[in-house]
Amino acid sequence: MKVTDNLNFRGKFRQYDPDGKPYLYRIGDSVDFNGALYTAILPTSTKIPGTKEGGNYWKELGSSEGLYISEFTPANPDIGDRWYVPSTGILYTRIQEESNKFWVEL
């Protein structure tokens, strides 16, 4: 399996859930952390993306600039921007076909 075959966007990185238990990430889970996108390449619960220790568990996918996390449609998106709706868990990307611009579910 390539890292990008089965991505599951989980929103902002969290080390612990509201009850204080470690938050479990599985292979392919992707998160936004400090303005960059990371995907888990090994199961992990407390390893932080972008750190020396987390480097064995997370792979950086790139900048999260152009990533909107909101229940509402972004106001002025650019082509290629992504929009994640937390309540549905759906990730969209902004595309253009001829003169039409629209969101497509990934």
Give residue limits of the domains in the chain. 8-63, 67-105
**SS3 at position 55:** helix
| CA distance linking residue 104 with residue 44, whole number of Å | 30
CA-derived radius of gyration, the chain: 15
Q: What is the pLDDT of residues 31-78, one digit of tens each?
A: 888 878 888 989 998 899 989 988 899 988 766 667 787 888 888 888
Rounded mean pLDDT of the chain? 84
Task: State if pTM tops 0.85.
Answer: no
Confidence bin at 6 (pLDDT 50/70/90): low
What's the CATH superfamily of 8-63? Carbohydrate-binding module superfamily 5/12 (2.10.10.20)
Sequence-distant (≥ 6) Cβ neighbours of residue 67 within 8 angstroms: 32, 37, 81, 82, 83, 84
pLDDT above 90: percentage of residues in the chain: 23
How, if at all, do strands 36-40 and 58-63 pair?
antiparallel
